[in-house]
A = this chain, B = another copy of it.
Amino acid sequence: MSERNDLPSNWGRWGADDELGTLNLITDEVRERAAREVRTGRSVSLAVPIQPAPVLSGPFPPRTAEESPVQQMMLYTGSPAIAYADALTVTNHHTLSTHLDALAHIPQDGQVYPGRPANESVTMGGVVHGSTTAFAAGIVTRGILLDFAADGPVPGDRALTAQDLEAAEERFTVHVEPGDALVARFGWVRTRYRGNPMPGMTLDAARWMHERGVSLYAGDLSDAYPPVSSPPAMHGVALPRLGMPLIDAVDADELASVCAELGRYSFLFVAAPPRILGLTGVPVNPVAVF
């Protein structure tokens, strides 16, 4: 219990009914600073492409299928077809899908951010507090890439500390300011989630993000496997206690190339998932504009 009390927290910081969490740190001033990053108009997607699995009923369907977060059903629109249309089944928290976690995705001791009873906030009919509603207007801020994989993937048994984050800042000549979106690259986007050990962030790193005022975390990885703390730093502390939205399964490989090529690791960051309210998470295509 005393350990829990040591964990960083934003519960109460923006009121008992707050739904934005660290997105509160994205002020007009922060956006204006972000805007100044745009100089060339070059843009890069940070999303893993999703190949939907077709729902087929013809005589010779495949017997095995690559698993996908999305199933696609091509719809009948008359014969001959006057248009082509489809419907999808989408799994929001799939590890092969770049998605934005809502604050109520993970409860902590029966509560969700900022300390509301989980059972009242999340119902069988949807999320009533701490949902994707917080992302309705889109997220526009400055992004900073900390490329921990510039010299190769972070080893599976490493967990990054505040010192590692500051070393990266120094190396890439950036400084994380309040309201910034932090993009972390471990170099694991193609090899993660196979059951083997994976690197991640320590509680120490989460504390550093808290102190610096990170508004959003986007990484190809976030928490180490096996866990290096209980609760884990990002999904167990940053999300539910700091109210920091997480983008899971980010592909920052092209971003890293462009940053290296342009010689700068800051950019305008825009994440605007479909404006669907009341979800625990939602697929997103974050875009960096230089």
Contacts and interface: CB of A to CB of B under 8 A. Distances in A.
Contacts of A81: 76, 79, 107, 118, 122
Number of copies: 4
A20 to B, nearest CB: 14
Given A33-B41, A79-B79, A140 B84 contact: no
A59 B272 contact: no
Interface of A: 28-35, 38-45, 47-52, 54-67, 70-98, 104-107, 118-119, 122-127, 136-138, 140, 193-195, 225, 235, 268, 270-287, 289
Contacts of A118: 79, 81, 84
B78 A76 contact: no
B279 A72 contact: yes
Nearest to A36: B38
Contact of A52 (B38, B93, B136, B277): B277
B59 A95 contact: yes
B31 A86 contact: no
